[in-house]
Amino acid sequence: MTARENRGSSTASAPTRIRYRVLGMTVAVYMITYMDRVVISNAGPSIRADLGMSLVTFGWILASFRWSYALFQIPGGWLGDRIGPRRALALIVTWWSIFTTALGLAWSATSMTFISFFFGVGEAGAFPIATRSLSRWLLPGERGLAQGLTHAGSRLGAALAPPLVVYIISLYGWRAAFYAFGSLGLIWSALWFVWYRDTPAEHGAVNDAERELIEAGSRNRKNIGASLTWRKMFSGSTMWYLCAAYFCYTYALATYLDWLPTYLKEYRHYSLAKMGFYAMLPMLAGTVGDFTGGWLADIRLRRTGRLNSRRAVAIAGFLGGALFIIPATLTSSPGLCVMFTCMAFFGVELTVGVSWAIPLDIAGDRAGSVSSVMNMCGNIGGAISPIVLTYAQRLYGWNVPFLITAALCALGALLYCKIDIDRKVAS
């Protein structure tokens, strides 16, 4: 009897849980993704003061990252489908970690714009490839919670980064923050490449019971993915409504990730230290929102047996975001502003687990390609956000940019009413 046969026979009644370790590694890279992404926004006031940049100039730097991030979503998703998530994720995490470090070497707005663009090229593949890495590992009833957990990890990374960045800046200057955070991704990519495998069958620690459990739950998903073509992907309404709703979400996300620290410091007049603390709170609320949204989505699926039941979670989240952004914007109290912003960001993040579970539900093994299209369209909204916000702020002050964000959240709720998850994208 082989070692594998012996392992399988001795543990047939108790499946291993390697899929949850895969999920844990994925949560970790989501954290690193957002830590690296928000270093620049939290170091923004220090960078602008040191290099003499205007708010609009800094907005174009952020936009350069977001445009490359949007435009390279499909190539990133294709790479994951082509060479497998093990090699693809190790490659792109190494790439963007190098450019995160390189941002600390920037000497002008032009150099920072150039480096930010290539940083975005690397990060573009992160979520589509990570989604693909989970597609052959998770059971259908685990997808919503898994996507909620991974995105909760990203928001936790975004929450932990502000006070850490401020602390590093206070001791060593803004350049040191990029050096510190860039090293994290290099460590993760090495561990991922050594440990992860593209399928449960390839992983030596997975016993037969867990492998059979995963395969039984994924047979229908594989049939869906096998029939999916690019033409079919865009021939129905599901993809278009999903992409439009994610456009609204990512515009709102970019508003808070990119500009909340600057807004709190320059408009709400918090000190640098307090800015780092209060910029963390909405991200923590978003972390809870991500987890809660995924958890509620899976509960609704188990109770109703219908994938479309998940939509209610996203609709409620978008509406909550729209409603709470308004008092957060209009209040004269900095404390109430932060409190309502936490509630608004919690609502916005409720939508994420649902959005990222949909590619797994409708595309199976082509989930990387479908999620890359969704994320590309969504991040066009994120790329537009810095330009719209900085010019709107110049013309009308800080209230109008946030009210625009509230309107897009309301639109996102309407669009989700049109999404039919039960109708597979290939049908």
Residue 245 located in a structural domain: yes
Residue 4 located in a structural domain: no
Range of the domain at 258: 16-416
pLDDT at 76: 81
Tokens 């978003």, residue located: 286
CA distances from 104 to 100, 347, 357 (A): 7, 34, 36
Task: Return d(Cα 8, Cα 211) in angstroms, integer.
Answer: 10
Encode pLDDT of 217-263 as tens digits. 665 555 544 555 666 666 667 788 888 999 999 999 989 988 888 88
Task: Return d(Cα 71, Cα 108) in angstroms, integer.
Answer: 24
Tell me which residue of 16, 347, 414, 30 sits closest to 212, measured CA to CA: 16
Tell me which residue of 352, 376, 357, 377 sits closest to 367, measured CA to CA: 357
pLDDT at 246: 93
CA distances from 413 to 111, 245, 308, 321, 401 (A): 39, 8, 14, 10, 19
Question: What kind and span of H or E run contains 72?
Answer: none
Residue 11 located in a structural domain: no
pLDDT at 236: 66
Q: Which residues, at least 6 apart from 332, have a Cβ–Cβ distance to it below 8 Å?
A: none
pLDDT at 348: 93
Token pair in block for residue 81: 């489908």
- 3-state class of 105 per DSSP? coil
Q: pTM for the whole thing?
A: 0.73
52 in the Ramachandran plot: left (φ > 0), alpha (ψ -120 to 50) or beta?
left
Mean of the per-residue pLDDT values of the chain? 83
Q: Which residues, at least 6 apart from 386, have a Cβ–Cβ distance to it below 8 Å?
A: 59, 60, 62, 63, 66, 254, 258, 259
Residue 426 located in a structural domain: no
CB atoms within 10 A of CB 236: 16
pLDDT at 3: 44
Domain count, the chain: 1
Residues (pLDDT < 50) of the chain are 1-11, 224-225, 425-427
Residue 399 located in a structural domain: yes
Encode pLDDT of 173-216 as tens digits. 999 999 999 999 999 999 999 999 888 888 888 888 778 877 77
The CATH number of the domain where 381 resides is what? 1.20.1250.20
Residue 96 located in a structural domain: yes
pLDDT at 345: 94
Residue 163 located in a structural domain: yes
Residue 60 located in a structural domain: yes
Encode pLDDT of 137-153 as tens digits. 877 667 667 777 787 78
pLDDT at 81: 77
